[in-house]
Amino acid sequence: MSDDLLTKGVRRLDWADKHMKVLAEIRRRLIKEKTLEGVRLSMALHVEAKTGMLAITLQEAGAKLRLASCNPLSTDDSVALALKEKFGIETYAKKWETSDEYYQNLNSVLDLGPDFMIDDGADLITMVHTARTNLLSKVKGANEETTTGVIRLRSMAKEGKLRFPVISVNDAHMKYLFDNRYGTGQSTFDGFMNATNLLVAGKRFVIAGYGWCGRGIAMRAKGMGANVIVTEIDPIKAIEAKLDGFEVMQMIEAVKQADVVISATGCKDIVRREHLEVMKDGCVLGNSGHFDNEISKQALEEYGGSPKRVREFVDEYSLPAGRKAYLISEGRLMNLGAGQGHPVEIMDMSFAIQALALEYLVKNHQTLQPQVYNVPSELDQLVAKLKLQTLGLQIDTLSPEQRKYLAAWQEGT
């Protein structure tokens, strides 16, 4: 017998909780110390089970919070329901929400009048600096989860427009080294397989972008037996891709051979009209970047007409000369649009950093400027140590002589 929606959501949260041991350890301390007592917190994250456990943690630590999704397609409705019904968390999110509903939900979350915010992609923070400037005087700081959001916020800071301190959770080692690489590496294929039910082995995959996300996807594609081509605009990353064993070429050449193209660049118009003109018949297009502008839907519609939905998360475009192109989850991030997001143990580390970075911000915001800050390295180290403990791993330590040797500069022996 299948679960009703609420039971399904409660079970998903339960399962995430069982496997988020680092966050559980941090939660115990935050609750004991009532760290977030009285803090008003607006959150825009992908509303699914792991995010749910972060929200529950912060609420139990004393925060009054509201949660919306940071993407119209990434909500797990069962989890959103469970958060509302079982945990009393004000959650404003549903899967397939329209663009208007998406912004309405962000506005509802901001109506709380936040002291602090947690954002993924920087839409919430941007709104406070544009449409909701009346809130600016109250906001004391924010955390940003992802590469794309941090890029936007650094531009704001550079132009002198940022009005409060922001912590770049993305740039913590315990975030990007694991979440961006192994998280996106696995969850992209969760989305691909769920959307298409197609084989990876033997196919030619083109991965656009060889940042931490792109290299995770390329590595996993290769591991599953795909032939992988990487496209890049950065010469250094292109050489890394080549020496990691991948073919490197321009997109215009790559799409002629591609069975599947996956973008993970953070930039727009990676697949555009000129690529569609020479694309191989049957090519599957997917995006794992934050925004849905990496694969140009405008070009697809102008060149391929209105799409026909052929599976729950796959749209078919009819290109000239009888060719077809298939777009996964409307070009929105396929790992959450068509999949369940990053693995639980990965988000355990990312959200442990989120919780600790929020605690840091609450305690230290008065001494911070309106800039983008990195997560203090002690927090990175703490999460790494806790993760090692949960993995049951022990590592070596330096002897006093070794410590002295490393600190000395005169002697070579």
- Taking alpha carbons only, the member of 73, 4, 90 closest to residue 333 is 73
Q: Which residue has the tokens 């399962």?
A: 15
Q: Within 13 Å, how many C-alpha atoms sit on residue 278's CB side?
A: 11
Which runs of consecutive H residues, i.e. helices, occur in 224-367? 235-243, 251-254, 273-278, 297-304, 334-337, 344-364
- Least distance (Å) between residue 121 CB and ligand ADE: 9
Is 135 or 347 the residue whose CB approaches ligand ADE more closely? 347
To ligand ADE, the closest distance from the beta carbon of 46 in angstroms equals 4
- List interacting residues with ligand ADE (CB under 6 A): 45-46, 48, 50-51, 120, 145-146, 183, 187, 335-336, 341-342, 347
Contacts of 259 (CB under 8 A, 6+ apart): 203, 204, 205, 280, 282, 283, 284
Smallest distance, ligand ADE to C-beta of residue 342, A: 4
* Minimum CB–partner distance for residue 351 and ligand ADE (Å): 8
- What's the CA gap between 300 and 117, in Å, rounded? 36
Give whichever of 214 and 307 is closer to ligand ADE, judged by the CB atom.
214
* CB-CB contact of 97 with 105 (8 Å): yes
Residue closest to ligand ADE (Cβ) = 341
For ligand ADE, the closer CB: 194 or 335: 335
DSSP characters for 147-169? HHHHHHHHHHHHTT---S-EEEG
State residue 370 phi and psi, 5-degree precision: -75, 80
Please give the Cα distance from 316 to 363 (Å, whole number).
Answer: 51
Contact 189, 200 (CB under 8 A): yes
> Shortest gap between Cβ of 51 and ligand ADE (angstroms)?
5
Q: Indicate the residue among 187 and 194 with the shorter CB distance to ligand ADE.
A: 187
Cβ distance to ligand ADE smaller for residue 66 or 204:
66
145 or 380: whose CB is closer to ligand ADE?
Answer: 145
Whichever of 209 and 307 has its CB closer to ligand ADE, that residue is 209
Contact 143, 124 (CB under 8 A): no
**Shortest spacing between CB 233 and ligand ADE, in angstroms:** 23
Residue 42 burial class via C-beta count within 10 angstroms: exposed 0-12, middle 13-18, buried 19 and up: buried
Smallest gap, in angstroms, from Cβ of residue 11 to ligand ADE? Answer: 17
The answer to whether 377 touches 175, Cβ cutoff 8 Å, is no
Taking the complex as a whole, how short is the minimal distance between the CB of residue 69 and ligand ADE, in angstroms?
Answer: 10
| Residue 165 or 341 with smaller CB distance to ligand ADE | 341
- 319's tokens: 């290109």
Shortest distance (Å) from residue 346 CB to ligand ADE: 8
| 48 versus 359: smaller Cβ distance to ligand ADE | 48
Q: Which is nearer to ligand ADE, 70 or 139 (CB)?
A: 70
Q: Shortest approach of ligand ADE to residue 18 CB, angstroms?
A: 17
Give CA–CA dist 168/371, Å, rounded: 10
Task: Give the helix/strand (H/E) hosting 17.
Answer: helix 5-19
Q: How far is the CB of 334 from ligand ADE (least distance, A)?
A: 11
Match 């991948």 to its residue by tokens: 246
Q: What angle do CA 237, 241, 245 make, to 5 degrees?
A: 165
Between 303 and 313, CB nearer to ligand ADE: 313
The beta-strand segments (E) located in 232-336 are 247-248, 260-263, 283-287, 308-311, 314-319, 323-328
23 and 95 Cβ atoms separated by less than 8 Å: no
357/321 Cα distance (integer angstroms)? 54
